[in-house]
Amino acid sequence: MSGVLYEQREVRQARYAVAAVFAVHGAVTGSFATRVPWIQDHASVSAGQLGLALAFPALGASVAMPLAGRISHRFGARNALRGLIALWTLSLILPSLAPNLLTLCLALFVYGATAGMADVAMNALGVEIENRLGRSIMSGLHGMWSAGALIGSAAGTLAAHLGADARLHHALAAGVLTVLGVAMCAWVLDLQPAQDEEPPPRFALPPKSALLIGAVGFCAVFAEGASLDWSAVYLRDRLESSAGLAAACTTGFTLTMAIARFAGDKVVDRFGSVRTVRAGGFLAVLGGLLIVVADHPAVAMGGFALMGLGIAVVVPLCFAAAGRSGPNPSLAIAGVATITYTSGLIAPSAIGGLAEVTSLTVSFGLVTVLACGIVAFAGVLRAGDRDRPKVGRRAAAVADPRP
């Protein structure tokens, strides 16, 4: 019994440690996003050149994410996460140092590559901890990422308001976040490969199961990217609202997503991944319809709030399902992450391009159609509910106790 209690305590500690790592990861993103105008001015790049440069994080992540599984196999999950989260936090320094477009693109490629590898490693550990606890935690972990992003954004906003040099701001932020991230890794699970386990390939196409799961994540991330980048513009241009009200719409969307993610685990435990995602898809579709037909800012804001509520838990549950969909969780998670990163890359430009040819109303009609895809294909996430032990005192005893 003492061994079971020790296992329970170890897994609980690992859960809190990985949650802190998720928050650190989000804080880096929030810290960077708020200083993009400063970085643009420092590198002397135009808006079009900045748009090109901002494609490089997704490119770097897509190239590097398949390597995360091999790194974890070589060094063990704990050491791999410790090294990757340190590389990610320290990479925050690079973009603000770039003096021109070429160096900015290179810096953002490295920034994205380290982000993607750390993302895969921490999600793989999150899935393993969820398996051992026997209850959903992935939604809450992604909620911690959102909370970290909000904290990083708030600190960055303050630094920008004070006129702080982004090089100094990012150096200090990187130092603090590196210490926090590395320290938290001391309590994550120290998973080691079996002696006869073959290392995953350096580069490989994602398995078929990851492609189907990734398609659901693609729809959700497309709606998220479109709403984050275009909700304020939609209210300002389409409904002629004030700048303050337009900005409040985007903030409300972000907060709705964060709150829904923190509450999502209890819903998943009660209803399962498929029904939760399908219900979320219905809410997203309803939100999209409200946005399209809105003739008053309040209606559109309600639509964006429903959109955020509906898609909030989809990506966490996609990662959870990918981690249980085959013999190589890291490879499957990397495949899903690549697809979702790609969706986040193309969504803002696709919305803008379609709006240029037609209108923003038609653009969000497309978002609504993609939300229908979440409803239609939610069944592929059934792997997220497979072979899950019951919640309770015996959960740790039922779960596989091997490290």
Asked if 45 and 102 count as a contact pair (C-beta separation under 8 A), the reply is: no
Task: Provide the mean pLDDT of the chain.
Answer: 87
**Burial code of 359-388, b = ≥16 C-beta within 10 A, e = fewer?**
ebeebbbbbbebbebbbebbebbebbbeeb
Can you read off the two tokens belonging to residue 176? 């603090």
pLDDT at 393 over 50: no
The closest alpha carbon to 206, from 318, 46, 304, 309, belongs to: 318
pLDDT at 143 over 50: yes
The 10s digit of each residue's pLDDT in 239-284 is 988 888 887 888 788 888 889 999 999 999 999 999 999 999 999 9
Which range in 14-23, 61-70, 320-329 is most confidently predicted, on average pLDDT? 14-23
Q: Cα separation of 86 and 179, whole Å?
A: 8
Q: What is the mean pLDDT of residues 4-19?
A: 86
Sign of CA dihedral 318, 143, 402, 124: positive
Q: Cα separation of 340 and 129, whole Å?
A: 23
What is residue 24's predicted lDDT score, i.e. its pLDDT? 97
What is residue 376's predicted lDDT score, i.e. its pLDDT? 95
The 10s digit of each residue's pLDDT in 80-128 is 999 999 999 999 999 999 999 999 999 999 999 999 999 999 999 999 9
What is residue 6's predicted lDDT score, i.e. its pLDDT? 61
Q: What is the mean pLDDT of residues 204-217?
A: 81
pLDDT at 1 over 60: no
Better pLDDT: 348 or 141: 141
Query: Cβ neighbours of residue 105 under 8 Å, at least 6 residues apart?
Result: 52, 53, 56
Q: What is the mean pLDDT of residues 386-403?
A: 37
Cα Rg of the chain (Å, integer): 21
Can you read off the two tokens belonging to residue 298? 């309040």
Instruction: Say whether 402 sits in a helix, a strand or coil.
Output: coil
Asked if 189 and 14 count as a contact pair (C-beta separation under 8 A), the reply is: yes
Between the CA atoms of 184, 185, 189 and 193, what dihedral angle is there, to the nearest 10 degrees? 170
Better pLDDT: 392 or 344: 344
Please give the share of the chain, as a percent, with pLDDT higher than 90.
53
CB atoms near residue 247 (< 10 Å): 15
Query: Cβ neighbours of residue 7 under 8 Å, at least 6 residues apart?
Result: 132, 396, 397, 401
Which range in 75-79, 247-251, 329-333 is most confidently predicted, on average pLDDT? 75-79
Whole-structure pTM value: 0.83
Asked if 153 and 142 count as a contact pair (C-beta separation under 8 A), the reply is: no
Query: Cβ neighbours of residue 168 under 8 Å, at least 6 residues apart?
Result: none
Helix H segments across 272-400? 273-293, 297-311, 314-323, 329-357, 360-377, 395-398
The closest alpha carbon to 26, from 369, 257, 327, belongs to: 257
What is the 8-class DSSP label of residue 327? S
What is residue 195's predicted lDDT score, i.e. its pLDDT? 66
Name the band, by pLDDT with cuts 50, 70 and 90, for residue 349. confident
What is residue 254's predicted lDDT score, i.e. its pLDDT? 81
**Tally of residues, the chain:** 403
